[in-house]
Amino acid sequence: MDMNDLVIISVDDHISEPPDLFDRHLSGDLLASAPKLRQTAKGTDFWEYQGLKFPSVGLNAVVGRPPEEYGMEPNSLQQLRAGVYDVHARIGDMDVNGIAASLNFGSVFDFAGGRLSKAPDRQLAIRHLQAYNDWHIDEWCGAYPGRFIPCAILPCWDMDATIAEMKRVSAKGCHAISINENPTVIGLPSIHNAYWKPFFKTVNHLDMTICLHIGGGNPAPHASMETPIEAWISTMPMTIAVGAADWLQLDALQEYPSLRIALSEGSIGWVPYFMERADFSNARHKAWTNSRFPGTMKPSDTFKRHFLNCFIDDAFGLQNIQHIGEDNIAYECDYPHSDTLWPEVPEYLWPTVKHLTREQIDKVTHKNAMRWFRFDPFEHHDRKDLTVGALRAKAKAAGVDISPKSSGGARPLSEGDNRPVTSGDILEMFSRHDRVA
Amino acid sequence: MDMNDLVIISVDDHISEPPDLFDRHLSGDLLASAPKLRQTAKGTDFWEYQGLKFPSVGLNAVVGRPPEEYGMEPNSLQQLRAGVYDVHARIGDMDVNGIAASLNFGSVFDFAGGRLSKAPDRQLAIRHLQAYNDWHIDEWCGAYPGRFIPCAILPCWDMDATIAEMKRVSAKGCHAISINENPTVIGLPSIHNAYWKPFFKTVNHLDMTICLHIGGGNPAPHASMETPIEAWISTMPMTIAVGAADWLQLDALQEYPSLRIALSEGSIGWVPYFMERADFSNARHKAWTNSRFPGTMKPSDTFKRHFLNCFIDDAFGLQNIQHIGEDNIAYECDYPHSDTLWPEVPEYLWPTVKHLTREQIDKVTHKNAMRWFRFDPFEHHDRKDLTVGALRAKAKAAGVDISPKSSGGARPLSEGDNRPVTSGDILEMFSRHDRVA
């Protein structure tokens, strides 16, 4: 086996939605009242909905730029690679990067639809959320069968509507759902509250996979406004540990032994320590905490039974695969965000997995993704057509252009300022971006 | 070599201060105005100072209790093992646990003296802080030469006084100082601010070691009030990563290549991932972040040059010692807090280090502590008298009693309630504790 034989499924990528998002999924009043993509006089895109304004462009969607411009925040779709919003261009970008299939999170309503809960008319928001899922499942994922893992968002503020939407998308073949890693952040009860019981029951009944993506739930802390931004970038993935520890205590995990939870963008190298520490804390404290791990089951056993950990570039974690569990690891690309190694994913990935057995390589590159997400690209494609080598040959024939493109956007510092960019600079830039929207 | 041959130095333990704290270090008006230990009608100890009230008992000082009572918060010194506040009893508790020497953080003014900055008369607070350091260095550590690593607190709100106090304690043989991991939390400028330049210059000039203890600076997040407490306990050490990433970006590290920083209670198993991720973030982003790692120096190189990582029980980390650096790891006991493995430290420690070379074992158990803290117990004791076997023989002869003792305190749940204890329960209990004080 060599690099070109890899079959790579990415379980975490992103879309910034195109302007015609709702056009083929609604009509009449519902289409008229659907979110609309607008642009300010300064050229900044935003979505307008029920009097609210949401930033259009997924923060940090910088794929394909020269590295000097990674910190420049895109303002409009025109400043992005077309693959970010156009599914046909996306397939080209996947091919050139050797990615066989991909799970995509949306941007406009955040990764888990939370922004829709702010709409004044929440009943109407449910209709638009359904149309959004139809676009995602039928139009985006449906355009290239076997190349996308559909992932729906839910109207979590209304549990009956949530259950109904889960049933609806499940019947359409969507088996993944994205919810906020910490619902208390958007004003909902915690995952330990009885409010969520029907949700977990339905996840189990419909055999769905819960995706928890960093960023919208538990905060990713940064020490101070003067802290250089690299510090914040470096600790961001690992902050999912707070959510992972929270979910690890969920009663539903003991009630439903098949429940599956994917931690998106959390990385893996810290996971062996996390499990060891969870076991230590349980062993030292269970005499007074009334914790719910039954019998001889340790937190680490529960973690391995229920959690999929995802990595972008994690050599140390992959050297310790036996401590994480070869069935608990999947690759993610994070296209088009700044961590993505597009278009060189195979070149980075291969050296970090080539010491593994063939079966382990297959598991972390695609078999775990297939099993955890109930997804089978080989129903639609021969395996040999989804390898890195085959996809890249196809991209070459199609002439996919990967040369870096300067593309504009907001700068965190004024021209010529060469002090380190800080957390405060980035927050100020983001807040200008939000104010314009 | 076997377990009984280990020489163990612990670089992180705690004291809850005794009532006669200032008696031998002040007189007249200064003694009269010094903090006083009081007790409420309900039997809860607190310190009174300049009209402020501070909790007396170090939270979680539960060593020596039956495990069922770990969650019961002690209210008074009488509910603690004497070793928590009495240095002679402490030596017995160290002996029985095979601990040759120990660095102790105080409790009443927090681990780094931050509470004193709230005093209305801060000039007076500086005098009392000096007396506190005198007590710690001369009376506590001085009682048993070679058994304690002195560690001073500083009046960081006044940089001139801070520099003066560093010089004063340094002249007394104290080479470690504890400061807040994130000074912005107590209203001071960030570590990247010019405010701290004289501090780092003096640390370097006096060859001191900076201790950053979790708990008083960057917050240790918990997902929700309904989250079972084991989640919070398990992620607490790892939250030091936010502080570590912040300090890793410090300009002074490039200016002073010998600067030494000890991360207290941060654990080690996550460190290889952290360094790998810091290098990745730097490599991907340095083109726009103006980061200050010079030439070919990577963040991981800087981390290894400047940071000491400490562990309580960390088998995975010790299996990966080559990824952390055998010169960058030291043992800590965390006596008397609930993570401590007292009085069985050697029994837990030995299986996790015995695969290492003799030199590596010596480094992680005591040589690194000696080098990083400029401390030499062998100036005062023969090595053979500080081994686990020798100290335990001494404790046996002295009749140190290690049987678990029921000792009272505040309960997080009412009697008979067997639901899981949550973050909210613990915060409510702590806030009752603070209100009483």
C-beta atoms of A221 and B225 within 8 A: no
Select the CATH number that applies to the domain covering B3-435 from these four: 3.30.300.180, 3.20.20.140, 3.10.20.600, 3.40.50.11720: 3.20.20.140
C-beta atoms of A190 and B288 within 8 A: no
Give the whole-angstrom CA distance, residue B42 versus residue A129: 56
For residue A72, pLDDT over 90 is answered with: no
For residue A279, pLDDT over 90 is answered with: yes
pLDDT tens-digit profile of B267-278?
999 999 999 999
Domain range list for chain A:
3-435
Among A225, A290, A421, the residue with its CB nearest the CB of B418 is A290
Whether the CB of B224 is below 8 Å from some CB of chain A: the reply is yes
pLDDT tens-digit profile of A153-195?
999 999 999 999 999 999 999 999 999 999 999 999 999 999 9
Largest CA distance in chain A: 65
Task: Show the CA angle centred on residue B15, arms to residues B11 and B21, nearest 5°.
Answer: 130
3-state helix, strand, coil in chain B (%, to 5): 45, 15, 40
Q: In chain B, which residue's Cα lies nearest the Cα of A228?
A: B249
Chain B partners within 8 Å of A249 (Cβ): 227-228, 230-231, 420
Dig out the tokens for B411 from the structure.
């309960």
Dig out the tokens for A407 from the structure.
């593309």
Q: In chain B, which residue's Cα lies nearest the Cα of A248?
A: B231
pLDDT tens-digit profile of B95-133?
999 999 999 999 999 899 999 999 999 999 999 999 999
Q: Where are the alpha helices (DSSP H) in B87-141?
A: 87-96, 122-134
Residues A65-86 have a mean pLDDT of 92
Chain B neighbours among A 314-353 (CB < 8 Å)?
314-317, 320, 323, 338-339
Whether the CB of B25 is below 8 Å from some CB of chain A: the reply is no
**A329-331: strand order across its sheet:** A151-153, A176-178, A209-213, A260-264, A307-311, A329-331
Residues constituting chain B: 437
C-beta atoms of A243 and B222 within 8 A: no
Chain B neighbours among A 256-285 (CB < 8 Å)?
267-270, 272-274, 276-278, 280-282, 284-285
Chain A neighbours among B 153-192 (CB < 8 Å)?
182, 184, 189-192
Per-residue pLDDT band for B437 (boundaries 50, 70, 90) equals: low
Dig out the tokens for A131 from the structure.
């149309």
Do A99 and A30 form a contact (C-beta atoms < 8 A)?
Answer: no
Tell me what the pLDDT averaged over chain A comes to. 95
Do B238 and A277 form a contact (C-beta atoms < 8 A)?
Answer: yes
Nearest partner of A155 among A173, A168, A141, judged by Cα: A168
CA distances to A56, A84, A425, A437 from A42, rounded to whole Å, are 14, 22, 21, 11
Mutation to test the A interface, candidates B73, B235, B251, most A Cβ within 10 Å: B235
Residues B280-307 have a mean pLDDT of 95
For residue A57, pLDDT over 80 is answered with: no
Whether the CB of A423 is below 8 Å from some CB of chain B: the reply is no
For residue B159, pLDDT over 90 is answered with: yes
Nearest partner of A85 among A39, A124, A136, judged by Cα: A136
Backbone phi, psi, residue B54, to 5°: -115, 140
Whether the CB of B292 is below 8 Å from some CB of chain A: the reply is yes
Dig out the tokens for A335 from the structure.
């296209």
CA distances to A248, A277, B410 from A282, rounded to whole Å, are 12, 8, 21
Chain A neighbours among B 28-67 (CB < 8 Å)?
66-67
DSSP string, A151-200: EEE--TTSHHHHHHHHHHHHHTT--EEE--S-GGGGTPPPTTSGGGHHHH
For residue B407, pLDDT over 90 is answered with: no
What is the number of other CB atoms lying within 10 angstroms of the CB of residue B151?
Answer: 30
pLDDT tens-digit profile of A343-397?
999 999 999 999 999 999 999 999 999 999 999 999 999 999 999 999 999 999 9
Backbone phi, psi, residue B167, to 5°: -65, -40
Among B68, B284, B323, the residue with its CB nearest the CB of A316 is B323
Reported ipTM: the value is 0.97
